[in-house]
Amino acid sequence: MNRKSFSMAVAALALLGAAPLYLDNPYYIHMIGTIMIYAILLFGLDIVVGYTGQVSLGHAGLFGVGSYTAGVMFFKLGAPLWLIILASIGLTAGFGALLALPALRVTGPYLAMVTLAFGTIIQILINEMDFLTEGPLGIKVPKPDLFGEKLTEHGFYWLVFGLMALSLVVVDRILKSQLGRAFEALRGSPVASDCMGVSVYRYKVYAFVISAGFAGLAGCLYAYSEQYISPNTYNFELTVLFLLAVIMGGRKTRTGALLGAAIIVILPKLLDDLEMFRQVSSALAVLVLIGAVIGVVKKTTTPRAMAIPVVGTIALAAFSFWLQSITDWRLSIFGLMILFVVYYLQDGIVGFFRKLFFRRTALGGDYHGVDLGKDAITVASNAAHSAAGSDLLVAKGVLMQFGGLKALNNVDLRIQRGTIHGLIGPNGSGKSTMMNVLTGIYVPTAGEIVFAGQTVVGRTSSDIALSGIARTFQNVQLFGEMTALQNVQVGLHHTFESNLIDVALHTPRYKREDQAGVERGLGLLHFVGLGDLANEEARNLPYGKQRLLEIARALALDPQLLLLDEPAAGLTAPDIKELIAIIRKIRDHGITVILIEHHMDVVMSICDNVSVLDFGQKIAEGKPAEVQADEKVIEAYLGAPAA
Ligand code: ADP
Ligand code: MG
């Protein structure tokens, strides 16, 4: 965040915090309080939905767990406020871990169904366990005591405000740290996350647990705010409303969460009052129109793209004046607005305005005092100690069967330390399959693989990656919505020892690790010639640069062995030259390379040894020149016996 938006955020928060001083009406104070409580939940929900890209329809259930933890602890035990808050967060986080379990197995619509069932079960449990929860009767919860005195309405407002501001800061710090990058990487490419040593399994659970913790805090505050809780509140409608709030406000932004919370609290009330509905829809139409005009003038958008939002909001405003009574139309208007946002404002309202006013989403781009002269490749440190020439990787009798197809058939491979080993063969001969087997994406049907004295077979991809095998992918697997630098920083995840507390408090340890990460990340980008594109989103890079970025990201893992799957595919001739130089430099740093490549000139010029696959079998091996002259190889490539 730059200084200007930071001061704007502080000013907005100050205005919000001071609300009881200029707003006399207790009705509005309670309403803003509710918005802030929902916002706390939405900050957390956004971690799961916006960052990891999972769907959760279980968050109303988690909200309920938080409320009932507070209600029961007050009603049965008369526990003090601070204990109740901590218990609500902790217990709900535990339920979050439960909710994460299905997310490890299913995604998309199936996950939506399972999480929905989770929420329903919680609601039923609250209803049925009346020995604890008083069942459908509900529990009365008076405003809490703080420092021995009962909080007034205003006092409670400030408590909620304080906790909301604290949540805002903590969530923001989490999402900008290595944890947030790990969450976002899951969305971008789960396979690549695992191969960068970021365990998809672990970080999905983390995301749900942290998200649930915030839902628990929100639920707890909600119980005190309403002063009465009953099972009906935590229903299907509420959970859908939460999800819509994230989508409408805009995912991956805290402003969006606050805005989304405001919408779901205010909109139902707005649709009860025709006069207010007319004013607000007119104001909205004017805002969108102004936004569109500015956008078109600044050339951040086209008149065509703006036509539908502008016409839509003007139509809504016109419709509001034509209406005689709003009650019959409530649900239809609500539904239409939702459809409109989902179709035309896919980045939500905040995303929409951001795109109009800033050509690019705001990125923290001030890297003061970063020393780019430093050599980014510290890789060799562990590799260089071992004698060059010895075997780094030995595969014996590897068989990989897909149904009846033997994609790899009894393949042996020896890779010597410090060499570039070419792996070639016609399309479909099993080269990529070999890489997937070496990196744990596939478990071979038979055979053994030993890397640096450790067996590989049966270990997880992230574990193998952390032990020193890095890779790139034939079909580029970048984290598209993340910047080039952030992509590399995901590769540097293993250099972080700081935990959630370090991240939340910005301890010296975290600051040190983060700074070091930025420096090395930029250094690695320079190494592959992408230094000027650090803040560009990976999906916006040209194809050739994406391939180079994958190499930089792989190097961030400090690998002993680097697997490159057709790195020159789609590159122009000058780019290929540069690539060859880069691969040579990587080898000179002591990193062993396995190179799959179709460009024979590349293979012949830089490989020390070459193995040739055909129909899953190794048909030749040796020095490049020997292999090139081998009859079987010529036959495999040309499809006919050599003359
Ligand atoms: P290459 O990289 O040498 O072009 P691949 O290793 O991608 O070849 O594929 C080797 C063979 O294995 C191909 O026939 C391919 O269709 C098959 N194959 C690869 N992965 C799978 C899979 N997950 N399921 C079924 N068949 C696969
Ligand atoms: Mg391939």
pLDDT of residue 364 exceeding 60: no
- Give distance in angstroms: CA of 428 to centre of ligand 1: 6
pLDDT of residue 303: 84
- Give distance in angstroms: CA of 524 to centre of ligand 2: 26
Ligand 1 binding pocket includes 428 (Cβ within 6 Å) = yes
Mean pLDDT score of the chain? 89
What is the average pLDDT across 570-593?
Answer: 91
Mutate to test the pocket of ligand 1, among 405, 437, 445, 596 (most ligand atoms within 8 A of CB): 405
- Atom of ligand 1 lying closest to residue 566 CA: 2
E strand or H helix that includes residue 563: strand 561-565
Q: pLDDT class for 371, splitting at 50, 70, 90?
A: very low
Least confident segment among 373-382, 505-514, 548-557, 590-599: 373-382
Domain edges within the chain? 29-234, 380-638
Spatial CA neighbour of 350 closest among 421, 263, 275: 263
> What are residue 471's DSSP bridge partners?
563
Which residue's alpha carbon is nearest to atom 5 within ligand 1?
Answer: 430
- The SS3 of residue 464 is helix
Least confident segment among 62-66, 86-90, 324-328: 324-328
pLDDT of residue 361: 43
- Atom of ligand 1 lying closest to residue 442 CA: 23
Residue pair 577/571 in contact (Cβ under 8 Å)? The answer is no
- Give distance in angstroms: CA of 541 to centre of ligand 2: 22
- Give distance in angstroms: CA of 642 to centre of ligand 1: 27
Mutate to test the pocket of ligand 1, among 400, 413, 423, 433 (most ligand atoms within 8 A of CB): 433
Provide the phi-psi class of 374: left if phi over 0, else alpha when psi is between -120 and 50, else beta: beta
Q: May I ask the CATH architecture of the domain 380-638?
A: 3-Layer(aba) Sandwich (3.40)
Tens of pLDDT, residue by residue over 124-164, are 999 999 999 898 899 999 988 888 788 888 999 999 999 99
Q: Give the rounded percent of residues in the chain with a pLDDT score beyond 70.
A: 94
Mutate to test the pocket of ligand 1, among 191, 402, 409, 474 (most ligand atoms within 8 A of CB): 402
Ligand 1 binding pocket includes 611 (Cβ within 6 Å) = no
Mutate to test the pocket of ligand 1, among 408, 409, 432 (most ligand atoms within 8 A of CB): 432
pLDDT of residue 375 exceeding 60: no
Q: pLDDT class for 368, splitting at 50, 70, 90?
A: very low
- Give distance in angstroms: CA of 547 to centre of ligand 2: 15
Position of tokens 């991956």?
252
pLDDT of residue 350: 86
Higher-pLDDT residue of 367 and 266 is: 266
What is the average pLDDT across 583-600?
Answer: 93
- Give distance in angstroms: CA of 130 to centre of ligand 2: 60
Which residue's alpha carbon is nearest to atom 21 within ligand 1?
Answer: 402
Higher-pLDDT residue of 267 and 590 is: 590
Q: Which ligand is nearest to the CA of 442?
A: 1
- Give distance in angstroms: CA of 433 to centre of ligand 1: 6
Q: pLDDT class for 46, splitting at 50, 70, 90?
A: very high
pTM of the model: 0.89
Q: Kindly calculate the radius of gyration of the chain based on its CA atoms and give it in whole angstroms.
A: 29
Tens of pLDDT, residue by residue over 334-348, are 777 777 777 777 788
Q: pLDDT class for 320, splitting at 50, 70, 90?
A: confident
Tens of pLDDT, residue by residue over 397-430, are 999 999 989 999 999 999 999 999 999 999 999 9
Least confident segment among 5-14, 303-312, 412-421, 441-450: 303-312
pLDDT of residue 366: 46
Tens of pLDDT, residue by residue over 81-117, are 999 999 999 999 999 999 998 888 888 889 889 999 9
Which residue's alpha carbon is nearest to atom 27 within ligand 1?
Answer: 402
Q: What CA dihedral angle connects 245, 358, 172 and 18, to 10 degrees?
A: -70
Position of tokens 């409608």?
237
Dig out the tokens for 272 from the structure: 């009860």
- Give distance in angstroms: CA of 581 to centre of ligand 2: 23
Provide the phi-psi class of 397: left if phi over 0, else alpha when psi is between -120 and 50, else beta: left
Dig out the tokens for 152 from the structure: 């007034």
Tens of pLDDT, residue by residue over 253-264, are 999 999 999 998
The span from the CA of 195 to the CA of 199, in Å, is: 8
**Alpha helix ranges (H) inside 299-430:** 303-322, 330-344, 348-357, 380-385
